[in-house]
Amino acid sequence: MSDLTPLTFDDLVRFASRIQVGAPTTGDREPERGELWRLNWDGVTELGVVVDVEEGVPITVPATLTRSRLSESQPSTARVGDRLLHFDAFTDATHPIPAIAFDRLVSSEVDWSTATVDEATTSHRDGDASLRRLASWNQSFSVGSGGLGARLKSAGFTPSLLRRELDLSLDESLALLRDHRALSDDDTTRISRLLDTTSSEVEALAGAVPASLRAALSRRRFRERVMALAVRRKELASRAWGFALFGVLETPYRQTGVGGMEDWQERADRFFEVAL
């Protein structure tokens, strides 16, 4: 452990605000268990500790920093759930304590749509310009404006909080904030309790088509590009590709019915007929 440097609370805050490292899915670096990450979820920033890694994506639990000084060998702590982590080079023989070096404090912009596009590119054809362009086209969608995701975010709910309150995975929580998740009756009931509102209002928010999304799709050039790309890339109808192309449309698309990824091109045609 000679390569680890003790990390004080002030160091932690200073480095968390200064270090800028690319998202792990872009290939800049791979996340590792025990690392501290500053995560930006659609403008909501959380500091978390990586507890697992799934396909290059860090699964984190929120870290609440404190100024506790238990001893000189434990200069700073962070509470993760009901566990207390000590950020220094000290390790107890019986109860290992995660130690984090300065160069392992990572800041990451987590963009799941872009990450999925990168995954599809890696899986099928390196440097595929069409998929790269699709990643930038996806930025035209301002998902969640005026919908359920926006209401949850305005109420202060982050992916980690939703994961705990609604018993969802981190992926499901982020999908909910981005209005990608089709709600079950149980979801609707639990969310209505969280927001202190009625189930019918939650359903209305979940079914709303964001004005920005409708405007983006109404641009003829954008629509023609997406549809032409869908036809040319029909052979790439993998789960990753399907999500990259139409995942951002799931909530408004539910008005036309939700099926599996195997009928993704037909679903796209029907969506454009209804949404425009």
Higher pLDDT, 72 or 160: 160
What distance in Å separates the CA atoms of residue 129 and residue 239, rounded to the nearest whole number?
Answer: 19
Per-residue pLDDT tens digits for 209-264: 444 444 444 444 444 555 555 555 443 343 333 433 443 344 333 333 334 434 44
Mean residue pLDDT of the chain comes to: 51
Higher pLDDT, 182 or 259: 182
Q: Which residues pair with 65 in a beta bridge?
A: 78
Whether 64 has a pLDDT exceeding 70, the answer reads no
Per-residue pLDDT tens digits for 81-124: 333 443 333 333 222 223 332 223 333 332 222 233 333 333 33
Does this model's pTM top 0.95? My answer is no
